[in-house]
Amino acid sequence: MMLQPSELARGRVIEVSVSTEKGVPKENVHRGRILLGHGLEGDAHAGAWHRQVSLLAVESIRKMREAGLSVKPGDFAENLTTEGIDLPGLPVGTHLKVGEEVILEVTQIGKQCHTGCAIFQQMGQCIMPKEGIFARVLQGGTVQVGDLLQALKEAKG
């Protein structure tokens, strides 16, 4: 089964972020290694589960800025901040190619924020529950700001 890039779902990575603790904003590192079956190296959310890598669109962050919040990529604890692709519109199971090497599989759209989330306490609201997506790593590699992000689909015929 050959996978081809989807012409309809393309964007780019505008930030790569990690944190050593869960539930707090992540630090922008601009480049990182995504490890097979684990997630972003050095990140507290990485591990053997279905939410190894989190993604959020900068378009969602801009909505929060328009609502009066002073926020930037990483503030909602996302690993990859993207631009130009409708992340919450991707079906669970979609494969995403990031840069030249990394392949992710979308495992969850949105999430329930845990009680006492530092992000919610600081910001008064959080967009990850509706607009963030989560993925597991099918193929690892390096990711960096500027990398192409594209949904993959099965080739027809």
Q: Say what the pLDDT of residue 112 is.
A: 65
Q: 49 vs 32, 93, 108, 137, CA distance in Å?
A: 19, 15, 12, 10
Q: Which phi and psi angles does 63 have, rounded to 5°?
A: -60, -40
For the domain covering 9-152, report its CATH number.
Answer: 2.40.33.20
> Region 87-113: what's the mean pLDDT?
92
Q: What is the mean pLDDT of the chain?
A: 87
Cβ–Cβ < 8 Å for 43, 51: no
pLDDT value at 104 more than 60: yes
**Average pLDDT of the segment spanning 96-124:** 79
Closest CA to 24 of 78, 82, 91, 61: 78
